[in-house]
Structure 1
Amino acid sequence: MKKTFSILTVLFLSILFLTDGFSQSFYTGAIGVNQSNGGRQRVFSDNLTTRQIERISILVGVSTSAVFDYNEDQNSEVPAATVGSPLMSDFEVTSTINNTYSNLPPNVSVSYNIYGWTNDPYLLVKTTVKNNETSAINAAIGLEIIPRINGTYENDTLQWDASTLSLMIHKGFYVNAKFLSHTQKSLKLIPWTDPYANDSLYYTWLTQNSFDPMLVANAAGDGAVAIMGQDPVSINPGESTVFYYGVSIGANYNACVSNMALCIAKYNQVVPVELTSFTATAQDQQVTLNWSTATELNNNGFEIQRSLNNSDFVTVGYVKGKGTTTNNTDYVYVDRNLAQGNYSYRLKQIDFNGQYEYSEVINVLVASLDKYALVQNYPNPFNPSTKIGYILKDNANVKLSVYNSLGEEVAVLVNDLQEQGYHQINFDASGLPSGIYYYTINAGDFVQTKKMLLIK
């Protein structure tokens, strides 16, 4: 819901934002940042005078009616603070926010660590999102960015830069924003005069899986808003997920891109473990997990966590890490004596100081190939896409269709001759409304139907 302010509240907030009295800042000699208690980041091209970004803030979406955002929900949990002796960088500012202003779902807290290095023109930001709900959430996490190039709003140009897979903003001067630990999948660009600060639009844009064309905010006094999204991530109750993003500045495009390359190099250097691959292979009644790291810093080891048919993750094993190394390292773990089913795996990487981060989730089916089978989709419920698997005992003409609750066919996913074995296909329901859907496989004489739930 939107906030309703009294006149006194508006005056108070105006004074707060003008003075930045409830915030902490640093200037590296090449870029400045101001972090407010409420989770707002401002970016400067000098010593906190000329704003290039008015606000960067977090978005955490669970559904079209449950999105955590700066305007409606944030409240300070741990005030912004300057770290006196940073361990990873020359400068560091921290803060933690939560949803206690609105007390509306999702119940999450968000911690920031903003890192800077002397005379370097970029910022590295670590964002930790904790699930305070009593059940798991599938969180679409992204950023809301309002530029203010050279201290003014008019004529800012915003665009997806396909060559660097990032958001480029410019008006003579350039600013670049890029997801570092995850792949950006969505970018929505709008004039800020358009209505947008509501959960339904935020969630739709976070998960739209497309990139808007270039936008120029050319109306007098008009600014722009960018919404950057990535694939949703499952977070169990009381647990957290971490993602990193970078911000660079430059006098021109090439300088800005070069400075982001420096940020990426620094990210690869200081992030405790850089996971380069993570795969799962099923054979008979066991799954072999293989993963590789490019670098490790203070890595104690990896917990192997498993989920069966969308159940909660449980720890099933542990593999010791290499501590600190810049060499490529390969790991393997075999999960044995498994029943048939759809399994999900993730790694919990743990540092010597107890801090930890989760890998992305991978899925694998354990099943016998001596009979036909249709596998329950994953994830379920889902939005907007899910994976459907099936097993063919023999080569067969396969038709895999999706139906709504009225029995109307809404999609044909497969209609072809396929070879024996396990197959998996992605179903994208972006164009369909929320509801119960059924998917049916016809393969020779084998027919089977299962149910799935789309929640937007």
Structure 2
Amino acid sequence: MKKLKLLWLLLLLSIVVKAHVTLDNPSGGENVNPGDIIVIEWHVTQTHPQNNWDLYYSTDGGKSWLDLAVDLSISQMSYAWTTPDIETAQAKIKIVMDNVGTNYEDASGVFGIGTGVITAIDENHLSNPVNVFPNPFSFEAKFQVQLNSLSDISLQIFNQTGRQVYNALFYEQDQGMTSLRWQPAALPSGIYYYKIDTESKSISGKIILNR
């Protein structure tokens, strides 16, 4: 009986350890090409005195983990990751809440890199990609998205390190062609990555700022 109680306690503790942060994307089951962009997203379900966030990836279903991005700011809840030049059907992502005390974590299900049909966000494989112009741009970039119905839209921009530099939500955009605008005020020239989410699809791609 004591052994059974101990097993239940260990199970409960393991659930609690993984319950304070939730990895939202990727969820598992996706297939991407090497060089594609995956916007990793997570949210806090219970706050703690926290140091930072750490991200890891696995190519063997979680048996071993490699650094993806460590010591991310506490306020950061997403990261744009360019998938490495590998082939695996057992890729996973893990987010770790690095706390002053006990750390907490959550991990994705397995997904594929370079293994077949593309299902994750990759503008070259979408039937309805976003129209971005001008690209490169120097002052303002315009994103045109075709909506099949009334929808909220979010636009996120990431720099080459994966850090989010812009995030905006546009409520109740009408059916048809919708235009979103981005004017980076003080960002340096370089390559940036965008992610557009509607209620029915996600679109991502690359944009170049050339001042």
Tell me, yes or no, whether TM beats 0.5: no
Give the strand-richer structure, 1 or 2.
Answer: 1
- TM-score bracket, shorter-length normalisation: 0.3 to 0.5
Select the structure of larger CA radius of gyration.
1
TM-score (normalised: structure 2) = 0.41
